[in-house]
Homo-oligomer: A and B are copies of this chain.
Amino acid sequence: MKNASPRCVELKRGLVIALAVYLTTWGAAWGDPLPSWVNRQAKKSILAFVSDVTTPGSPDFVSEAERIAVFDNDGTLWSEQPFYFQFFYAMDRIRGLAPAHPEWKTQQPFKAVLENDTEALVQSGEKGLLQIIMASHAGNSTADFEESVRGWIAAARHPRFNTPFTDLVFQPMLEVLAFLRARGFKTYIVSGGGIEFMRVWSEEVYGVPPEQVIGSSIEVRFELQDGKPVLVRLPKMDFLDDKEGKPVAIHRFIGRRPIAAFGNSDGDLQMLQWTAHGQGRRLMLLVHHTDEAREWAYDRESHVGRLDKALDEANAKGWTLVDMKRDWRVVYPCDLQ
């Protein structure tokens, strides 16, 4: 994968085929629903948890209706380096809109985007980031936005691997998603990323339908345009689905407390705390990015996906830690080939 295999890129973005490969593998080896996981503590804790809550007669048995599992997206289900993939969309969109905005040539932070000036971009700080997000994510209808994301996700390539971004999902986590669903779980994504950005491709890539995707949102307004109802995206944050926002959003969207939560950063800490404090058997899991060769290695000092407080709490409370380098036989679906 490191030397992006052209064949993998060719194969309808690798993923669909990889999923088929995986399902075949699983079908052939029903005994191991997590074939990409090394048989260490993390894998064992997932298998034990699922067995405990789904085996009739088990003291930890949980009815299907209550089998709710929540997954962070960036860094948990797919990579997030050198920065969140949605930000690549934002920058490409700014470039696409630039002809209609001649003023951006001299106006920061847009000038920095158009000139690939990373330093100026970093200097524009959170305010600049928000300006880029709003200029690239608002001002159109929800239908037009979806169309724009759909086109981008098919065409864009990751700078390191030269593959579609959706090839950079984690094969071991796809297995966990499929395994949980096969055992009666509803799998939800609960991400700081944009809810409408993810919904365009979440069903095809993760098997998670739009109504089970929760994310950050901007405000949307209902309008009748020539008698036709339209939802218009406004340049104003509505909800930031990160940190304390995650349990709030879980409560609002699902109305049940999850019994399993998967994350990778301090932004997921409150979601794991909220999950942990329900009654009965629970699984809290953090993906620790430890594999510089196959993916990236980062934690306490990273500007993206910082894992610091949550790492301490996981150690203190015995939550499951995934050491990506040692726990995962493969990282990406294309590695299967």
Complex interface: chain B residues within 8 A of A128 (CB)? none
Q: Are B65 and A251 neighbours in the complex by a CB distance under 8 Å?
A: no
Most buried by B among A65, A229, A248: A229
Query: Within residues 200 to 224 of chain A, which ones have a CB less than 8 A from any CB in chain B?
Result: 203, 209-211, 213, 217, 220-222, 224
Q: A248-B222, A253-B211, A255-B211 are in contact. Are A229 and B277 (CB under 8 A)?
A: yes
- Nearest CB of chain B from residue A186's CB, rounded to whole Å: 8
Answer whether residue A109 sits at the interface, using C-beta atoms and an 8 A cutoff.
no
Given A199-B255, A252-B195, A255-B213, also A273-B220 (CB < 8 A): no
Query: Which residue on chain B has the smallest CB distance to residue A202?
Result: B255
Which residues of A from 251 to 286 have beta carbons under 8 Å from B? 251-256, 270, 273-274, 277
Residues of B within 8 A of A224 (CB): 273
Give how many A residues have a beta carbon under 8 Å from the other chain's beta carbons. Answer: 33
Is A196 an interface residue, CB under 8 A from the partner?
A: yes
Say whether A247 contacts B273, CB under 8 Å.
Answer: no
Contact of A228 with B by CB under 8 A: yes
Asked if A244 lies at the interface with its beta carbon under 8 angstroms from chain B, I say: yes
Per the bound structure, the CA–CA distance linking A78 and B203 in Å amounts to 35
Contact among B203, B213, B222, B252 for A244, CB-based, below 8 A: B222
With beta carbons under 8 angstroms apart, the residue of B65, B196, B253 that contacts A253 is B253
Residue in chain B with minimal CB distance to A254:
B211
Contact, CB under 8 Å: A255 / B221:
no
How far apart are the CA atoms of A2 and B65 in the complex, in Å?
37
Cβ contact of A251, chosen from B220, B252, B256, cutoff 8 A: B220
Contact across chains for B270 and A251 when beta carbons are under 8 A apart: no
Known A228-B277, A229-B270, A229-B277: A211·B256 in contact at CB below 8 Å: yes
A254 to B255, CA, bound (A): 14
- Say whether B252 contacts A217, CB under 8 Å: yes
- For A214-254 the 0/1 string (1 means CB < 8 A from B) is 00010011101000110100000000000011011001111
**Taking CB as reference atom, which chain B residue is nearest A252?**
B217
User: Which 5 A-B pairs rank lowest in CB-CB distance, beginning with the nearest?
Assistant: A210-B255, A222-B244, A199-B255, A229-B273, A211-B254
Beyond A211-B255, A217-B252, A222-B245, 11 additional contacts (C-beta under 8 Å) are A196-B255, A199-B255, A213-B255, A220-B251, A221-B248, A222-B274, A229-B273, A231-B247, A231-B248, A231-B251, A253-B253
Can you offer 18 A-B residue contacts whose CB atoms are under 8 A? A65-B209, A142-B251, A186-B211, A195-B252, A195-B255, A196-B255, A210-B254, A210-B256, A211-B253, A213-B255, A220-B252, A221-B248, A222-B244, A222-B245, A222-B247, A222-B274, A229-B273, A231-B248
